[in-house]
Amino acid sequence: MAPVFDYAPAPESRSVVDIASSYGLFIDGEFTEAADGKVFKTVSPSTEEVLSEVAEAGEADVDRAVKAARKAFEKWSALPGSERAKYLFRIARIIQERSRELAVLETLDNGKPIRETRDADIPLVAAYFFYYAGWADKLDHAGYGADPRPLGVAGQVIPWNFPLLMLAWKIAPALATGNTVVLKPAETTPLSALFFADICRQAGLPKGVVNILTGDGRAGAALVAHPDVDKVAFTGSTAVGKQIARTVAGTRKKLTLELGGKGANIVFDDAPIDQAVEGIVNGIFFNQGQVCCAGSRLLVQESIHDELLDSLKRRLTTLRLGDPLDKNTDIGAINSAQQLERITSLVEQGEAEGAERWSAACELPENGYWFAPTLFTGVTQAHTVARDEIFGPVLSVLTFRTPDEAVAKANNTPYGLSAGIWTEKGSRILAVANKLRAGVVWSNTFNKFDPTSPFGGYKESGFGREGGRHGLEAYLDV
């Protein structure tokens, strides 16, 4: 037999990023220890290697950071928009210049493949800063009245699935509109936010405009509850989002929430099959499925179910799982042991409830947190795997017979963040998209992001929009 075309390892160099052994909190333009001296470790999910030790913010630190942001707000909000734009453009350019370093860092800390950080995350991070830099001096023309005013201090809490991209989604519009921020990155992925703090210093951003507090949920809760925070923005789980909503209820704080999802990816029988297969793969296996807008429910027209599933399974066997720093890796590590446990337990529940499990045959590395691309067939609306957000590389396959049934099933979820439609018929795309209750509906593509396009949810997927002109509203007094 002829030798197989076995791709030799092509690892990206780690030497482009210099991770310090410890990091402090970034408050008022300086790195500082936590008031009570507490620290925690951040590990690389693909190897379980400890990358660094970071300070754990307590209530006193939250208070310090909010005060710094409050003080900086006076000058920052008084700057002409064109001046604020200069800083944002500068930050965007530094991100581009340091893109390789940031991509490697994000891959180390998060576990996602370098292909994604290099080709998707970091370019989008720069794009969001460029986009909102462009708005900073045009707020009068954004449709929110003449001379709309910023809100004040924004307390922002972001998740671990797209650490730097979510930071960009939060910080770029906040700064463009004249707010100052205190941001808490996720406990398992604090490093890129700390590197961003360094970028702020490199850009000469005035002290206190951006403050970064590393820590766990308690720091986030303290930030959200702080009386001098004017605006709370959160991306993360629906459960935490509900807690935040309760905390903020009855206060003057403005709130936006980007929460969970259980996106439906609807494939009609006249779809471009090969491209639909790619879209399904991109919809659920991008970032190991740890995407709130993932297309985690595949709704296939019954007449092409078998054909499509054959194609999909064949395609999944070509996915390459392993070292996320290897440029040929498609599937990286699950972000944490805790998340892996959640995925595993939901998959076991799916099997116990009688759905048929199929996993791609791939060898899982010994260390680190891994889960093979998996799909469930024979799933109905009553199965847990069709209802709960798994937040992992697990696809549930359901069928439908008519467009109405597809719409009914797609909407039959407590969530409403994203959906996809695959068909060659343009009129059907428009007709179905109008009936889907989801913040984003992609047609003949999936998981595509652009700073000009607003993103947000219906129902338990949250409220408020990020990105686009609409994204400005969350940070303006309108």
Question: Is 303 an interacting residue with respect to another protein (CB under 8 A)?
Answer: no
Q: Does 100 bind another protein (CB under 8 A)?
A: no
* 251 lies in the binding site for another protein (CB under 8 A): no
Active site (catalytic) residues: 258, 292
Q: What are phi and psi of 41, to 5 degrees?
A: -100, 150
C-beta closer to another protein: residue 23 or 286 = 286
Return the range that interacts with another protein (CB under 8 A); candidates 70-78, 179-187, 268-276, 452-460: 268-276
- Interface segment toward another protein; rule CB under 8 A; list 6-14, 64-72, 338-346, 352-360: 6-14
Shortest distance, position 47 Cβ to another protein, whole Å? 20
Instruction: Please check whether residue 419 is in contact with residue 267, taking contact to mean a CB–CB distance below 8 angstroms.
Output: no
Q: Check binding of 2 to another protein (CB under 8 A).
A: yes
Phi–psi pair at 26, nearest 5 degrees? -105, 100
* Residue at token pair 């337990």: 345
Task: State the Cα angle at 114 between 50 and 397, rounded to 5°.
Answer: 105
Provide, rounded to whole angstroms, the least separation between the CB of residue 273 and another protein: 4
Residue 273, token pair as written in the block: 């099959």
The H or E element that residue 316 is part of is helix 305-316
Based on the shown chain and the rule CB under 8 A, indicate whether residue 452 belongs to the binding site for another protein: no
Binding mask 327-356 for another protein (x = CB under 8 A): xx----------------------------
| Shortest separation between residue 11's beta carbon and another protein, angstroms | 9
What is the spatial distance between Cα 477 and Cα 154, in angstroms, rounded to a whole number? Answer: 13
**Can residue 322 be called a binding residue for another protein (CB under 8 A)?**
no
Which helix H or strand E contains 82, and what residues bound it?
Answer: helix 81-97
Would you count residue 450 as binding another protein (CB under 8 A)?
Answer: no
Check residue 5 for interaction with another protein (CB under 8 A).
yes
- Chain centroid to CA 242: 18
* Residue matched to tokens 């029988």: 269
- Separation of alpha carbons 393 and 123, rounded Å: 24
Q: Identify the helix (H) or strand (E) that includes residue 225.
A: helix 217-225
Q: Does 60 bind another protein (CB under 8 A)?
A: no
Listed ranges 13-21, 37-45, 226-234, 275-283: which one lies at the site for another protein (CB under 8 A):
275-283
The reply on whether position 250 binds another protein by CB under 8 A is no
Distance separating alpha carbons of residues 85 and 169, to the nearest angstrom: 16
For residues 69 and 209, give the distance between their C-alpha atoms in angstroms, rounded to a whole number.
Answer: 6
What distance in Å separates the CA atoms of residue 342 and residue 391, rounded to the nearest whole number?
Answer: 9
Q: In this complex, which beta carbon is closest to another protein, that of residue 238 or of residue 399?
A: 399
Site size with another protein, rule: CB under 8 A:
26
Q: What angle do CA 423, 115, 316 make, to 5 degrees?
A: 50
Query: Which one of 33, 59, 270, 353 is in contact with another protein (CB under 8 A)?
Result: 270
Exactly one of 13, 15, 21, 318 binds another protein (CB under 8 A); that residue is: 318
Residue 415's CB is within 10 A of a number of other CB atoms, namely 28
The reply on whether position 10 binds another protein by CB under 8 A is: yes
Query: Whose Cβ is closer to another protein: residue 83's or residue 424's?
Result: 424
Which stretch in 4-12, 212-220, 225-233, 355-363 sits in contact with another protein by CB under 8 A?
4-12
Residue that has been written with the tokens 């008022």 in this structure: 28
Tell me if 101 contacts another protein by CB under 8 A. no
For the record, the structure tokens of 244 come out as 């935040």
Binding-site ranges for another protein (CB under 8 A): 2-10, 115, 119, 270-275, 278-279, 310, 318, 327-328, 424, 444-445
